[in-house]
Structure 1
Amino acid sequence: MTKKELEAKVEEIRKYKTMIEEASNIEKALEAEVISYMNENNLTEELTDTAKITYKSQTRATLDKKRLEEDLGSLEEYTKTTTYSVLRIK
């Protein structure tokens, strides 16, 4: 691949990233409308001809790593490290 071809690929990637961002913004706006409908009608679940929609609270428990390290010291022996490659284009 030549540098010119590489540049064309990068431009195409940028174009698709822009399209993804625009689609994501549209998706978020549509989701906000659905959430508004669910809240206005005091619903946690709704069925349509093609979808089952739920909007419910959810709980997630996490560990406070800083506090654990303060209380127990180093957590190095419990740390799992994963290595992977990342492509970044600026």
Structure 2
Amino acid sequence: MCMTKSELEAKVEEVRKYKAMAEEASNIQKALEQEIISYMNENNLTEEFTDSAKITYKPQTRATLDKKRLEEDLGSLEEYTKTTTYNVLRIK
């Protein structure tokens, strides 16, 4: 597909427009989620059901490895490192 620079510029502007819309939608979503969390906290709930949804707000844990500490204790972790290469599109 061959396009001119002006067509490319139009595509970039369209991408910027949709990124702005996505950011705005994300902000709205976060605000709505915060209202739901407030409802759950105010009513001391960890689980709630509506006609169309099951809502849960419970603690969860996640275990991760401390790479810096492992390297301090064991030395280089190079032989255990997996490197993945992929393309990234950035528009500024």
TM band (smaller chain)? over 0.9
Which one-letter code corresponds to 1:15 in the other structure?
K
Which one-letter code corresponds to 2:36 in the other structure?
V
Confirm whether residue 13 of structure 1 aligns to residue 19 of structure 2.
no
Question: How well do the aligned residues superpose, as a CA RMSD in angstroms?
Answer: 0.3
Structure 1 consecutive aligned stretches of length 4 or more whose deviation exceeds 6 Å? none
**Alignment equivalent of 1:3, drawn from 5, 8, 20:** 5
TM-score by length of 2: 0.97
Gaps of 5+ in 2: none
Which one-letter code corresponds to 1:12 in the other structure?
E
Confirm whether residue 65 of structure 1 aligns to residue 67 of structure 2.
yes
> Could you tell me the percent identity over the aligned residues?
88
3-state DSSP class of the match of 2:26?
helix
CA distance in 2: counterparts of 1:46 and 1:82, whole angstroms: 41
Q: Displacement of 1:48 after TM fit?
A: 0.3
Q: Displacement of 1:25 after TM fit?
A: 0.3
TM-score by length of 1: 0.99
Alignment: residue pair count:
90
Q: Displacement of 1:5 after TM fit?
A: 0.1
CA distance in 2: counterparts of 1:19 and 1:35, whole angstroms: 24
CA distance in 1: counterparts of 2:11 and 2:81, whole angstroms: 38
